[in-house]
């Protein structure tokens, strides 16, 4: 690879901006601004993430092939194969749900659009990073769209893009996307929880400052250099947690959290010890994600303690490097390891990929094999990619994510309790099926309801998620109006 001076780099980027400006001339966004505002915002986001030059240029040009007279060939001639490849990838990705035309030539027939999309990404994960930047800016400017479009985009962001950001350990992005989107999906709930968090933080502020001081002086005594700061819980993650815990706020232990960043791993464990000597750790709440990183590569020590004045505080302890990776994820790896990583993509070597992101390599290998016409075990790939999660569709094409093992009633209750309570049957991929059938990745699920149906206690065996179970239990409670309804219907 030819080394370029930073001057040449900025020239190339400037040139891309000029070309995009010309191409989008006369086009406007729904906000009324000239269209170029959008690609420039995507450029800025990618720069903030520390992405490489080709990715930034592809970000500037990402909407040109689909929406302007500029062709892929023009881009290839002007900026080379790599940029053209990335722009092409983003263009295909935006039409993914409508059929993924080109990919059809090498992808075996599967109804699972999400899997298809992931395999398509296997070629270069930077395509996904551009798409995420694109989506982030669209979410930031969502208020300009009509309400039905707002809801659809917001929902898809919650169901697909925020989980993807999580898979890439891009923590800051996941939080911003999820909260932006959640505000449109459920505005009332968003306000309610946001107020709750603010109130909680205000009431905890004083004691939190005291805790900060106590911990700081103990760490100084041990000559550990550190930074300590509060972390605010995102509205959407609180919403998800409350659903898991029957809406019982007293079971949420990480509403208040303090983050401590230290120099090295030894200091992480020393710090944990010091905190436990100051406060009582809660049983079963110590998590060593340093020795055992999360699936997305996230590393930290977590512990929840009870202070002398009975406050519950979570501590997150990590090194600077771990912190950087937790917030920016794969993008951070590109920044620090750009050259190496890019080379490895080309040679297919895996050893320099960030911890636990080997699923990306697996995607790439699979994509390559498929293109060469080799046989691939898609079932196994699915299992590795989504061990804990499946994505299923409503007949209208909306995507819902559920834990692996979920059944039709879980799906129904996730849609709405009104739907769950009145289920009489289910069609999976167009065929009648049983309520105890486990849903699979990519299934299209159609719930059949009748207003005369009432919830049955026998359904408890046909439910997997705590969320659906809680809703069913509530409906089954004898003092609920449901009982009366049932008597009425039986007459």
- Chain residues binding Mn ion by CB under 5 A are 63, 134
CB of 60 to Mn ion, least distance (A): 11
CB of 152 to Mn ion, least distance (A): 16
Residue 42: CB minimum distance to Mn ion, A: 7
Q: Please identify which of the residues 67, 192, 227, 264 carries the catalytic annotation.
A: 67
Q: Does 25 participate in catalysis according to the annotation? A: no
Q: Which is nearer to Mn ion, 93 or 409 (CB)?
A: 93
Kindly state the smallest distance separating residue 335's Cβ from Mn ion, in Å: 23
Residue 67 appears among annotated catalytic residues: yes
Instruction: Compare residues 134 and 267 and give the one whose CB is closer to Mn ion.
Output: 134
Between CA 169 and CA 332 the distance in angstroms is: 10
Smallest distance, Mn ion to C-beta of residue 24, A: 11
Using the minimum distance from each CB to Mn ion, give the nearer residue, 63 or 314. Answer: 63
Cα separation, 433 vs 462, whole angstroms? 13
Please pick, among 11, 18, 66, 227, the residue that the annotation labels catalytic: 66
**Nearer to Mn ion among residue 40 and residue 290 (C-beta):** 40
**CB-wise, 134 or 324, nearer to Mn ion?**
134
C-beta nearest to Mn ion: residue: 134
- Min dist CB 62 to Mn ion, Å, is 6
Closest to Mn ion by CB, 90 vs 115, is 90
Known catalytic residues? 66-67
């Amino acid at each position: 690879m030819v080394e370029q001076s930073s001057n040449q780099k900025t020239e190339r980027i400037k040139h891309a901006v000029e070309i995009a400006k010309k191409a989008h001339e006369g086009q406007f966004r729904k906000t009324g601004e000239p269209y170029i505002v959008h690609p420039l915002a995507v450029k800025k986001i990618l720069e903030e993430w520390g992405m490489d030059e080709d990715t930034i240029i592809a970000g500037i040009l990402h909407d040109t092939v689909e929406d302007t007279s500029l062709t892929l060939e023009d881009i290839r001639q002007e900026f080379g194969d790599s940029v053209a490849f990335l722009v092409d990838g983003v263009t295909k990705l935006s039409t993914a749900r409508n059929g993924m035309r080109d990919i059809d030539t090498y992808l075996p027939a599967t109804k699972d659009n999400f899997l298809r999309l992931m395999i398509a990404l296997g070629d270069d994960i930077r395509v996904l990073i551009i798409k995420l930047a694109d989506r982030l800016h669209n979410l930031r400017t969502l208020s300009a769209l009509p309400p039905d479009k707002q809801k659809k985009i917001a929902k898809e962001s919650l169901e697909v893009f925020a989980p993807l950001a999580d898979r890439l350990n891009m923590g800051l992005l996941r939080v911003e996307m999820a909260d932006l989107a959640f505000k449109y999906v459920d505005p009332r709930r968003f306000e309610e929880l946001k107020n709750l968090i603010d109130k909680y933080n205000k009431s905890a502020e004083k004691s939190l400052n005291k805790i900060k001081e106590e911990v700081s002086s103990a760490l100084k005594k041990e000559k550990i250099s550190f930074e300590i700061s509060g972390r605010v819980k995102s509205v959407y993650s609180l919403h998800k947690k409350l659903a898991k815990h029957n809406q019982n706020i007293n079971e949420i232990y990480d509403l208040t959290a303090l983050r401590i960043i230290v120099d090295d791993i030894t200091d992480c464990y020393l710090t944990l010890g010091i905190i436990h000597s100051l406060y009582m750790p809660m049983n079963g709440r110590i998590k060593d994600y340093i020795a055992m990183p999360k699936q997305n590569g996230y590393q930290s020590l977590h512990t929840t303690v009870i202070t002398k004045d009975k406050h519950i505080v979570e501590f997150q302890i990590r090194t600077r490097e771990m912190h950087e990776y937790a917030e920016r994820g794969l993008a951070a790896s590109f920044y620090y390891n750009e050259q190496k990583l890019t080379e490895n993509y080309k040679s297919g070597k895996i050893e320099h990929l960030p911890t636990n992101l080997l699923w990306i390599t697996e995607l790439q290998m699979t994509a390559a094999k498929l293109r060469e016409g080799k046989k691939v075990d898609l079932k196994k790939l699915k299992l590795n990619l989504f061990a804990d999660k499946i994505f299923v569709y409503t007949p209208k094409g909306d995507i819902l994510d559920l834990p692996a093992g979920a059944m039709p009633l879980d799906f129904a209750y996730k849609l709405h309790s009104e739907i769950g309570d009145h289920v009489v049957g289910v069609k999976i991929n167009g065929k009648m099926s049983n309520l105890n059938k486990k849903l699979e990745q990519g299934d299209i699920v159609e719930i059949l309801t009748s207003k005369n149906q009432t919830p049955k206690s026998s359904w408890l065996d046909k439910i997997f998620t705590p969320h659906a179970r809680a809703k069913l239990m509530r409906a089954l409670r004898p003092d609920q109006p449901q009982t009366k309804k049932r008597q009425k219907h039986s007459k």
